[in-house]
């Protein structure tokens, strides 16, 4: 089983990788910034650089040697405290790393998926205002505004609020990307399933490593105590197992693309109203192609 993965060195991805590595026939190609875990082939990847993403895709294709990818797990992600940071290509960093890098990687590796392959993109319940996660929900999925927040007429004046909303918007983009990919004619013809995965709020990950010290030192360490009492929080072990199951065993019900882990159990709720808007999804796809320097889809 050929597995290609991002975000496997820490947090939910590391837990998922622990399960995936036990599969007797698994060969795992992992995008890494530093060293790869034992038993895994690490290939250099910086999702905030389109050149690095293209280099990683080239390295994956070469390493496959003509074999197909059975599971493509696009899990890496992060939060920044504001929208001030820029990627190597000049795009807002949260949008670039969480969405645009994964979008390009999916585009590059799609032709190399095996028949019956599974694609899993880690999204978040923060994309949906109805979830009331405490994170400001996205107002839109306009890729050009997200890439250049200064051009967004509705940009939050509070820098921290803008940074948090950039995260939820990037997770909406992950979900919209999954929905467009799942609707591709060749996905159905080849039995390829595409799922956007919400692991719920999961303590003990590295997600808040770039947040303010008060979040890292005071809020985040207390969250594990709340897991048993929350509908949308999950332990790190449960969230990782959910990701591994979607990559290897679970298939979405017909017409579903969004999986949400609730009380350590995979459920298939309807995503937000904005996430179900086909026009928004198509516009995001086309604009993302342009931002990646790719021709428009026909």
- Residue 167 annotated among the catalytic residues of the structure: yes
Nearest to 283 by CA among 179, 196, 193: 179
* Residue from 56, 167, 220, 285 carrying the catalytic annotation: 167
Task: Tell the residue number behind the tokens 């107002």, with chain if given.
Answer: 139
Nearest to 172 by CA among 242, 122, 246: 122
What are the distances in angstroms from CA 23 to CA 39, 76, 245, 281?
12, 22, 12, 35
Please name every residue paired with 258 in a beta bridge, in sequence order, or none if there are none: 196
Give the active site residues: 167
């Amino acid at each position: 089983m050929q597995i290609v993965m991002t975000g496997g060195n820490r947090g939910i991805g590391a837990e998922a990788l622990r399960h995936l590595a036990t599969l007797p026939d698994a060969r795992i190609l992992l995008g890494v910034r530093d060293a790869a875990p034992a038993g895994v082939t690490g290939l250099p990847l910086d999702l905030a650089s389109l050149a690095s993403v293209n280099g990683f895709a080239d390295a994956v294709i070469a390493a496959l040697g003509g074999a197909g990818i059975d599971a493509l797990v696009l899990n890496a992600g992060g939060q920044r405290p504001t929208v001030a940071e820029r990627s190597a290509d000049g795009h807002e960093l949260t949008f670039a790393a969480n969405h645009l890098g994964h979008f390009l990687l999916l585009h590059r590796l799609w032709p190399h998926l095996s028949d019956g392959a599974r694609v899993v993109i880690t999204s978040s319940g923060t994309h949906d205002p109805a979830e009331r996660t405490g994170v400001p929900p996205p107002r839109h999925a306009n890729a050009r505004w997200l890439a250049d927040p200064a051009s967004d007429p509705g940009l939050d004046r509070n820098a921290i609020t803008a940074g948090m909303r950039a995260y939820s918007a990037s997770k909406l983009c992950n979900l919209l990307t999954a929905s467009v990919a799942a609707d591709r004619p060749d996905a159905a013809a080849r039995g390829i399933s595409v799922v956007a995965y919400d692991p719920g709020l999961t303590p003990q990950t590295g997600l808040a490593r770039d947040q303010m010290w008060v979040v890292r030192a005071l809020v985040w360490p207390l969250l594990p105590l709340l897991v048993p009492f929350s509908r949308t929080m999950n332990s790190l072990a449960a969230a990782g197992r959910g990701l591994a199951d979607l990559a290897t065993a679970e298939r979405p019900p017909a017409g579903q693309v969004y999986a949400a882990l609730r009380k350590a159990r995979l459920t298939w709720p309807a995503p937000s109203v904005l996430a179900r808007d086909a026009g928004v999804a198509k516009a995001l796809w086309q604009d993302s192609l342009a931002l990646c320097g790719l021709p428009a889809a026909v």
